[in-house]
A = this chain, B = another copy of it.
Amino acid sequence: MQKHEAKRVEIMIETVMLRRLTEALQSADVTGWSVLPVLGGSGRSGTWSREGQISRGTGMVQVVCLIRPEKLEPLLEAVYLVVERHIGVISVSDVKVLRAERF
């Protein structure tokens, strides 16, 4: 089956920042992403869990973004502006996608 090179960008970000992140993605001409819930985790700012939350002020989501390789840099730059001062992590991997016309 015909496959095409692409990048998979995975961003863990605080839920309160999600709208700002997707706006940044749109501004970088990225139109495809998916948001997955995160139940808890651990990082430099300690351990947290969804169960221990009443506040909307915490909690994270995972944003997965499949893009053509040439769109990676603009995406990262746009995203970086949003997450810069915030907690969260960004990783990039090489993937192959079907139906390249979608990206």
**A23–B89 Cα gap in the complex (Å)?**
21
Size category of the binding interface on chain A:
35 or more
B97 near A89 with CB under 8 A, answer: yes
**In the complex this chain forms, how many copies of it are found?**
3
Which residues of the partner chain B approach A66 to less than 8 Å between Cβ atoms?
89, 91
> Can you show 14 pairs from A to B with CB atoms below 8 A apart?
A1-B77, A10-B64, A22-B42, A32-B42, A34-B41, A35-B40, A36-B38, A43-B102, A90-B97, A90-B99, A91-B96, A92-B95, A93-B93, A94-B94
Q: Which residues of A approach B to under 8 Å, CB–CB?
A: 1, 3, 6, 8, 10, 12, 22, 25, 31-44, 47, 49, 60-62, 64, 66, 73, 76-77, 80, 89-99, 102
